[in-house]
Amino acid sequence: MTHQGACHCGAVRLTLPSTPEVATRCNCSLCRRIGGPWVYFAFGTVKIEGHPESTVAYVQGDKTLRTIHCKHCGCVTHWEPITLEPGERHGVNLGNFDPALIASVRVRKFDGAVTWSFLEE
């Protein structure tokens, strides 16, 4: 089952290829500011419309990924790897989707700030 979501103004639209079962809430210096929770899919499997024409990218720290937000409403929609290699994933901000979907997905807390591991099963 696919799921459609969008940033607040609708300029960036995302379609998930399947129903996510688990999402990640991360406390790293970036994620703790921009929220999430994040769900992950194989790169290229999430349909993203309005990107890059309506988006701005932010590249942080080790420059392995770019975090994308809508240039009109500011909502963070997803992140994507900068270097495409086999097995790469991208992350989607589940906050852009239906509240019922958000509520149905189990959220795991990830300590991206210190230990780089999940804080709970």
Residue ranges in contact with Zn ion by CB under 5 A:
7, 9, 11, 70, 72-73
- Shortest Cβ distance from residue 55 to Zn ion (Å)? 9
Phi/psi at 23 (5° precision)? -125, 160
Distance CA 89, CA 68 (A): 14
Give residues with Cβ within 8 angstroms of 58, minimum separation 6: 66, 67, 68, 69
Token output for 24: 């990640």
- Shortest Cβ distance from residue 114 to Zn ion (Å)? 33
Nearer to Zn ion, 13 or 89 (CB): 13
3-class DSSP state of 42: strand
- Shortest Cβ distance from residue 72 to Zn ion (Å)? 4
Whether residue 74 contacts residue 67, with contact meaning beta carbons closer than 8 Å, is answered with no
Nearer to Zn ion, 7 or 68 (CB): 7
- Shortest Cβ distance from residue 118 to Zn ion (Å)? 31
Nearer to Zn ion, 26 or 68 (CB): 68
Nearer to Zn ion, 80 or 110 (CB): 80
Residue closest to Zn ion when measured from CB atoms = 70
